Chains A and B, each alone.
Chain A
Amino acid sequence: MTELTLVQAVNRGLAEAMRRDPNVLVLGEDVGVNGGVFRATDGLLKEFGEERVLDTPLSETGIVGTAIGMALYGLKPVAEIQFLDFIYPAFDQIVSELAKFRYRSGGQYPCPVVIRTPYGGGIKGGLYHSQSTEAYFCHTAGLKVVIPSTPADAKGLLLTAIQDEDPVMFLEPKRIYRSVSGEVPDGDVRVPFGRARLVRDGTDVSIFAYGAMVPVASEAADTLAAEGISAEVIDLRSLVPLDEAAAVASVEKTGRAVIVHEAARFCGFGAELAALLAEKALYSLKAPIARVTGYDTPFPYALEHLYLPNAARVAHAARETVRSG
């Protein structure tokens, strides 16, 4: 075990995968000499050379299209998109090509590309360095979508992503790249997809979160505990495939659900989770499902602290669900 920050864990995961498999390579803007603008790829160029660490021209469709070609040919490319906010020039490649290659070829052409990209607010990044648009990708059949919230999961889920036979969107909560650190297993220790992580056991209300909202949910649970409310916190971490059983089981136990995400509420991931709980656990619910999310506005720069969910808003929503039933 080694104590690492989240971004260091990403770095160690990449290095581990590259040492184990010569077919693994990374490509993206500023990933080589500069080691990535967040230093996620720091040191990789020196260890693995230019053939496996490609500084690319500034074109997201070029990065993803090239990565797709590499994967079709049998390499395991890990593409970095510098910010999720800048992924849209590659949206056609991701949605029309990457997600559909296996399907449209009847299984002849698997396309196991990993796309790593920092996402989310709280870093004073304004409209274009802050957004959480994971729902676009969750909505597209053929993509897996995972979001770690701890250093151990960052490395473990990344190793699983690189081993996976399908394309994976690996979203990294940049707000907690360095503010969160923790013990990370050495070596090739993988965390499976499709399993939620129980952060904190509780009996009165289930708080569902992922990425940078997990520490927020935990902080809210501390506040609630002091008031005598026992909150369970679940880190979903794998949005596609989703651990539906864990979500349903938690609500069957607590009878209340609060869903937290940074993304805008309308058609956000919370809408899908709320629908799932209504379909599968309606009769266990003692109160309406609550969502604590970003608002249905673009992401504001100066007022981001008011836009983003915080512990006070999450605790408030949890209290309301406990009071109402």
Chain B
Amino acid sequence: MNSGASSTGTRSPPSAPAVSLTPAELLESYKTMVLSRATDERCLTLQRQGRIGFYVPASGQEAAQVGCARALSGDDWIFPAYREIGVALARGVSLERLFDQFIGNSGDLSKGRQMPNHYGFREQRFVTASSPIGTQITQAVGAAIAARRKRDPIVTVTFFGDGATSSNDFHAGLNFAGVYRAPTIFFCQNNQWAISLPREKQTRSATLAEKAHAYGFDGVVVDGTDLEAVYGAVATARARALAGQGPTLIEAQVYRFGPHSTSDDPHRYRTDAEVAHWKETDPVQRLKQRLSAAGQLDEPRDQMLWEAARGEVSRALEAAERRPPVEPASFFDDVFARPTPRLEAERAEFDALVQQGVVKP
């Protein structure tokens, strides 16, 4: 079921796996996409209200994210960038944990140390993201080689955008993966804009996927607004990786509907007409139509799903806002497995300043 995917070169196109999503799975995927979109919409408001410090929206990329995650096993490892909320939700990360991270409270697994959207969840094999672009790509290759060494039948999947295809680690990572035939899927969400730089100024290559050919493996372009096409492309790549046939680069073509982040004003570099054009293929609407045509969804039921999603977002937010803040001196923890004498001394110095009232936490 990879009708939406096309191989970009002369290499043998991946054979279509005998897999597709069941109607129930399609509906589940749709719910996750709606939840992702509803979270985005709320968080943009929350940032303007000052209730969260920052936000990176993923609107427009939900089918790519959820479709990819759906094609993976729970044992596969995810190396995300910071825009992968749809993947996190599809992996079963709770909205409450996400809001704990957005607020940086005592429920945040990363203890309030990073900006919103830079989260990680070991239980869901979702590695903690960072801000530098592309650094997760080589790491995913290393984890894939390690998994093979341990004879674990899994793949690693790394997420990045069109901008990252210019980064050092993209080229190093693809090259290493090609040389070692690493069971890695390079999942590029080409959302057309790297902050203000359009896709055509990022590279002269006709597609991003074709860059894989230089490294000796398949690159595939897929319509990232089509959940089933993405699912098929990823399922194929995963089967090939597990069969020892090496990595695949998947370019999921999508569009970032919103700003790069809440610090960005896209009106400076792109037109409303362009956004409107891409919104005609809104992935959420597209799957809604697909489900409606199949008799899985109607307007009242859709309204219920949206209300449920928005209610879930509100409950998660309220729970996270009620949770106590992180302990002040906790920023000294986790530098090393055990604190060095120097860190212990600095912590004691900090505690004394608090006790003396010089520092007010």
Chain A residues close to B by CB (< 8 Å): 25, 51-52, 54, 56-57, 59, 61-62, 64-75, 77, 89, 92-93, 96-97, 100-110, 141-142, 144, 165-166, 194, 240-242, 244-245
Q: A62-B172, A110-B337 are in contact. Are A104 and B135 (CB under 8 A)?
A: no
Q: A73's contact among B77, B111, B114, B131, by CB below 8 Å, is which?
A: B77
Q: Are B109 and A65 in contact (CB under 8 A)?
A: no
Asked if A102 meets B337 with Cβ closer than 8 Å, knowing A65-B138, A65-B141, the reply is yes
- 7 closest Cβ pairs, A-B complex: A69-B142, A65-B138, A62-B172, A66-B142, A73-B146, A105-B128, A69-B143
Q: What's the Cα separation between A61 and B146 when bound, in Å?
A: 17
Residues of B contacting A245 in the complex (Cβ-Cβ under 8 angstroms): 341
Q: Could you count the A-B residue pairs with CB atoms below 8 Å apart for me: how many are there? A: 153
Beyond known contacts A65-B141, A69-B145, A69-B146: 17 more, CB 8 A cutoff? A59-B175, A64-B138, A65-B139, A65-B169, A66-B138, A69-B143, A73-B142, A74-B146, A75-B146, A77-B142, A92-B169, A96-B130, A105-B128, A108-B109, A109-B127, A142-B335, A241-B342
B134-172 CB mask vs A (1 if < 8 Å, else 0) is 010111111111110110000010000000000011011
Chain B residue numbers with a CB within 8 Å of A107 are: 111, 333-334
B122 cross-chain contacts in A, Cβ below 8 A:
105, 108-109
Q: Is B108 an interface residue (CB 8 A)?
A: yes
Please give the distance in Å from A26's CB to the nearest CB on chain B.
13
**Nearest CB of chain A from residue B320's CB, rounded to whole Å:** 16
Q: Is the CB of B175 within 8 A of A62?
A: yes
Check if A57 sits within 8 Å of B336, measured CB to CB: no
Cα distance, A166 to B334, chains bound together (Å):
10
Say whether B342 contacts A66, CB under 8 Å. no
A165/B337 in contact, CB under 8 A:
yes
Kindly state the separation between the CA atoms of A115 and B173 in the bound complex, as whole angstroms: 19
Contact indicator B147/A66 (Cβ below 8 Å): no
**Is B176 positioned at the interface, with any CB of A under 8 Å from its CB?**
yes
Q: A93-B135, A110-B337 are in contact. Are A65 and B173 (CB under 8 A)?
A: yes
**B118 located at the interface, meaning its Cβ lies under 8 Å from any Cβ of chain A in the complex:** yes
* Nearest Cβ on chain B to A65's Cβ, whole angstroms: 3
Q: Which of B142, B168, B175 has the most CB of A within 10 A?
A: B142
Complex Cα gap A89–B175 (Å): 15
Which residue of A52, A69, A92 contacts B132 across the interface (Cβ within 8 Å)? A92
Closest beta carbon of chain B to A179's beta carbon, Å: 32
Q: Indicate if the CB atoms of B114 and A104 lie closer than 8 Å.
A: yes
Give the shortest distance, in Å, between A96 (CB) and chain B (any CB): 5
Size band of the B side of the interface? Answer: 35 or more
Cα distance, A44 to B135, chains bound together (Å): 29
A110 to B135, CA, bound (A): 17
The docked-state distance in angstroms from the alpha carbon of A92 to that of B139 is: 12
Query: Nearest chain-B residue to A111 (Cβ)?
Result: B139
CB of B110 within 8 Å of the partner chain = yes
**Residues on A with beta carbons closer than 8 Å to the beta carbon of B140:** 69
In the complex, what residues of A have CB within 8 A of residue B303's CB? none
Q: Which of B108, B172, B176, B337 has the most CB of A within 10 A?
A: B172
Also in contact, A241 and B341, with CB within 8 A (given A25-B149, A73-B147): yes
CB-based contact B110/A104 at 8 Å:
yes
CB distance from B212 to the nearest CB of A (A): 16
Provide the residues of chain A in CB contact with B337, threshold 8 Å: 102, 110, 165-166
- A143–B137 CA distance with the chains assembled, in angstroms: 22
> Does A241 lie within 8 Å of B340, measured CB to CB?
yes
| Complex Cα gap A14–B122 (Å) | 30
B179 within 8 A of A: yes
**Would you mind naming 27 contact pairs between A and B with Cβ atoms under 8 Å apart?**
A25-B149, A57-B179, A61-B138, A62-B169, A66-B141, A68-B142, A69-B139, A69-B142, A73-B142, A73-B143, A93-B169, A96-B130, A102-B334, A103-B335, A104-B128, A105-B110, A105-B128, A106-B109, A106-B113, A108-B109, A108-B128, A109-B127, A141-B335, A142-B335, A144-B336, A166-B336, A245-B341
